[in-house]
Amino acid sequence: MNWDVLSPFFKYPIEIRKIMYTTNIIEGLHRQFRKVTKTKSVFPTDLSLEKMLYLASQNVMKKWTQRYRNWDSILNQLMIFFEGRVEQYL
């Protein structure tokens, strides 16, 4: 691992690092896709596969709307570290 690339990561508070380093969201999405498609060995059409993946993604997106614990504190820290970049998305 390249320490020069990794070390700037540690300038952020632990709460921000947890949000930044996690790939669990993408891994969770892929896990749900595998779970849904694994039980079916054959899909009759590409469209049926697309529909199945769409429905699985809708279920996962419901979980994405849940707030992080201590979100207000995390949001304040993000606004300090990324001044002017966060406010436009609120």
Residue by residue, DSSP assigns 4-66 as: HHHGGGGGS-HHHHHHHH--HHHHHHHHHHHHHHHT-S--SSHHHHHHHHHHHHHHHHHHHTS
- Flag whether 53 is in a domain: yes
Tell me the C-alpha distance between 12 and 8, whole Å.
8
- Flag whether 83 is in a domain: yes
pLDDT, position 22: 62
- Flag whether 80 is in a domain: yes
- Flag whether 2 is in a domain: no
Tell me the C-alpha distance between 23 and 42, whole Å.
29
Q: How many separate domains does the chain show?
A: 1
pLDDT, position 19: 78
- Flag whether 39 is in a domain: yes
- Flag whether 28 is in a domain: yes
Q: What is the pTM of this model?
A: 0.50
Segments forming the whole domain that contains residue 25: 10-89
10-60 pLDDT, tens digit per residue, is 888 888 887 776 656 778 788 889 998 888 878 899 999 999 999 999 888
pLDDT, position 1: 59
